[in-house]
Amino acid sequence: MFKATSVRQFSSSAANAYKVTVLGAAGGIGQPLSLLMKLNHKVTQLSLYDLRLGAGVATDISHIPTNSTVTGYGPEDDGLAKALKDADVVLIPAGVPRKPGMTRDDLFNTNASIVRDLAKAAAENCPKAAICVISNPVNSTVPIVAEVLKSKGVYNPKKLFGVTTLDVLRASRFLSQVAGTDPNKEIVTVVGGHSGITIVPLISQTNHKSLPKETYDALVHRIQFGGDEVVQAKNGAGSATLSMAQAGARFASSVLNGLAGEKDIIEPTFVDSPLFKSEGVEFFSSRVTLGVDGVKEIHGLGQLTNAEEEMITVAKETLVKNIAKGVDFVKANP
């Protein structure tokens, strides 16, 4: 275990003093995400765990003069338990990324057991933490975490999140490119899940309701399959890491702002949701207000066009299967 305190300490109020743990902290996402969490002034303890290089990344990041102690751990000496002990927020980017030709679901066989085991450790060491799952396939890894927490008697649906923020960032960026506008001003709600056709951008709720059909179709396809662009461009060396770190840091920051009692903190995220439960869809991403207990309010989808309704119908069919796959995995492999 490595522990280092930045040279200069800043004062922090109790409401702004949180322990954040990153699992998979030395990976392509983990490193820049940990860096960005070091820059977040609400984080006072940053705990970095990985199978390799956890201590090295922690030492490196600890030299940045912000208000947090950085501690790095590996699997030896009960490192995972120590990394998670009493964490307020756990970010999970541990697991393998895609290569060209693979779907996110093709990662299931490797990542399901990684996420299951990390969830067990979180249940034991920080049962009240907000857990933010980045590892793919998110549509299945989030239900895996839920099942593990249920089996340990500590499941709080308000504290489990699938991170879909990258879809939101892409939607802003890609829409601004076709509309010729400032991406910072393009807020796009993206709902459903986090893979291909389960990603449903609600363009009709932006200022660009009347895009030509060809432009609209191409935009929706690009948002749904934006991950493939990066996988292909990296040509076997992984998937989105830097944009994902930015997305993960934005989502974590919003969770922390909610925990701290700030008002009107809203992010689309994949959560245990009442929206389509009656149709067997236990988890669904929509706009969620974040508060002191995690999920404060799950918002409905608002008015949709026929095209968006159709996309939601298709998304739900896939989501039911993806979610069941995660649940069945934990039942068969507790």
239 vs 286, beta carbon nearer ligand LMR: 239
Q: Determine which residue in the list 71, 241, 269, 318 makes contact with ligand NAD, applying CB under 6 A.
A: 241
Structure token pair of residue 260: 């701290």
Contacting residue, 240, 271, 288, 298, with ligand LMR by CB under 6 A:
240
Please list the residues that pair with 92 across neighbouring strands: 133
- In whole angstroms, how large is the CA radius of gyration of the chain? 19
Instruction: Report the residue from 6, 111, 253, 322 that binds ligand NAD according to the rule CB under 6 A.
Output: 111
Residue count (the chain): 334
- Residue 29 labeled ligand binder: yes
Q: Could you say which of 41, 63, 194, 299 is catalytic?
A: 194
Instruction: Give the whole-angstrom CA distance, residue 9 versus residue 92.
Output: 27
Contact 130, 159 (CB under 8 A): yes
Return the closest-CA partner of residue 199 out of 141, 280, 286: 286
Q: Choose between 194 and 287: whose C-beta lies nearer to ligand NAD.
A: 194
Stretch of 10-18, 66-74, 200-208, 223-231 lying at the interface with ligand LMR (CB under 6 A) = 223-231
Nearest to ligand NAD of 204, 226 (CB atom): 226
Please tell me whether residue 93 binds ligand NAD under the rule CB under 6 A.
yes
Exactly one of 19, 38, 42, 98 binds ligand LMR (CB under 6 A); which one? 98
Among ligand LMR, ligand NAD, none, residue 230 binds (CB under 5-8 Å by kind): ligand LMR
User: Which of ligand NAD, ligand LMR, none does residue 275 bind to, with CB < 5 to 8 Å depending on kind?
Assistant: none
Q: Which of 170, 189, 166, 194 is nearest to 326 (CA)?
A: 194
Helices (H), 18-137: 30-38, 54-62, 79-84, 108-125
Q: Does 79 bind ligand NAD (CB under 6 A)?
A: no
Residue 70 touches which member of ligand NAD, ligand LMR, none, C-beta under 5-8 Å by kind: none
Applying the rule CB under 6 A, the residues between 177 and 216 that interact with ligand NAD are: 194
Q: Which residues contact 13 (CB under 8 A, 6 or more apart)?
A: none
115 near ligand LMR, rule: CB under 6 A: no
* Residue 222 touches which member of ligand NAD, ligand LMR, none, C-beta under 5-8 Å by kind: none
The DSSP bridge pattern shows strands 283-291 and 265-272 to be antiparallel
Which residue in the set 1, 17, 36, 96 belongs to the binding site for ligand NAD (CB under 6 A)?
A: 96
Helical segments of 39-185, H only: 54-62, 79-84, 108-125, 138-151, 165-179
Do residues 276 and 316 lie in contact, with contact meaning Cβ atoms separated by under 8 Å? yes
173 belongs to an annotated ligand binding site: no
Which SS3 state, helix, strand or coil, does residue 326 take?
A: helix
Shortest distance (Å) from residue 223 CB to ligand LMR? 10
Tell me: does residue 144 bind ligand NAD (CB under 6 A): no
Q: Which helix (H) or strand (E) holds 306?
A: helix 306-332
Q: What is the dihedral of CA 310, 315, 318, 323, to 10 degrees?
A: -140
In the annotation, is 41 catalytic?
A: no
Task: List contacts with ligand LMR (CB under 6 A).
Answer: 97-98, 104, 136, 166, 227, 230-231, 239-240
The footprint of ligand NAD (CB under 6 A) covers: 23-24, 26-30, 49-52, 93-98, 107, 111, 114, 118, 134-136, 138, 163, 166, 194, 238-241, 244
Q: Residues with catalytic annotation?
A: 194
